[in-house]
């Protein structure tokens, strides 16, 4: 049986799917037509039910649950690796400054947009561009701020860019405060 399989070309995805798509494990007769696309393209395709198997962001998954099942492995969520809100300026930014800025994000249906919107619900000047172009958009003054994901969160400083907020850290902090998550984890191993 041949199935369509979509994932992004980011390093964690290519590592996760390497053994499967390069016949390093027994797939018991399953074959794959592989589609390498950016995460927002995969999200849009998931909303259309285009692929049999796909990587997608959590917001897109929740909107496409009639077409997909969430596997219990392979998630890229983790502490200390969430999206970052960055700028080309080392200056401090108030919430009002951010709300009035133009912001480049890696896609409408991405977890990055969800977390940014959670932190800044009144920011409305959003532009959705390919995740790998956000740093250049800042450097070229095409946008005031950007939300970066994947390996860019570890290399942005090499381009003279500056972190404003770690959106994953912010989510974890607010989530813990709202739902006492750490307390629940410590009492329910």
Domain edges within the chain? 2-63, 84-178
Report the alpha-carbon distance of residue 123 to residue 104 in Å, rounded. 11
Question: CA nearest 149: which of 19, 17, 43?
Answer: 43
The pLDDT of residue 75: 64
Domain at 84-178: CATH code: 3.40.190.10
Identify whether 162 is a catalytic site residue. Answer: no
Residue segments in the chain with a per-residue pLDDT below the cut of 70: 74-78, 176-189
The pLDDT of residue 68: 93
Report the alpha-carbon distance of residue 50 to residue 178 in Å, rounded. 37
The pTM (predicted TM-score) of the whole model is 0.82
The pLDDT of residue 71: 82
- Asked if 105 and 147 touch (Cβ cutoff 8 Å), the reply is yes
Please, which residues bridge with residue 90 across strands? none
Q: Which of 109, 150, 162, 180 is catalytic?
A: 150
Report the alpha-carbon distance of residue 175 to residue 185 in Å, rounded. 13
The pLDDT of residue 84: 97
**Segments in the chain forming alpha helices (H):** 11-21, 39-48, 58-63, 95-99, 111-119, 134-139, 152-155, 167-179, 181-187
């Amino acid at each position: 049986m041949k199935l369509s399989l979509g994932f992004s070309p980011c390093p964690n995805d290519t590592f996760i799917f390497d053994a499967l798509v390069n016949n390093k494990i027994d797939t018991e007769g399953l074959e794959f037509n592989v589609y390498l696309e950016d995460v927002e393209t995969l999200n849009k395709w998931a909303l259309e039910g285009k692929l049999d198997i796909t990587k997608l962001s959590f917001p897109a998954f929740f909107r496409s649950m009639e077409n997909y099942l969430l596997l219990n492995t392979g998630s890229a969520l983790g502490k200390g690796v969430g999206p970052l809100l960055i700028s080309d300026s080392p200056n401090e930014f108030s919430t009002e400054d951010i709300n009035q800025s133009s912001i480049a994000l890696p896609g409408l249906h991405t977890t990055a947009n969800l977390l940014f919107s959670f932190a800044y619900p009144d920011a409305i000047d959003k532009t959705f561009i390919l995740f790998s172009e956000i740093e250049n958009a800042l450097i070229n003054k095409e946008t005031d701020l950007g939300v970066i994901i994947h390996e860019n969160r570890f290399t942005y400083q090499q381009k003279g860019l500056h972190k404003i907020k770690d959106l994953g850290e912010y989510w974890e902090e607010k989530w813990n405060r709202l739902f006492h998550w750490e307390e629940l984890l410590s009492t329910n191993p």
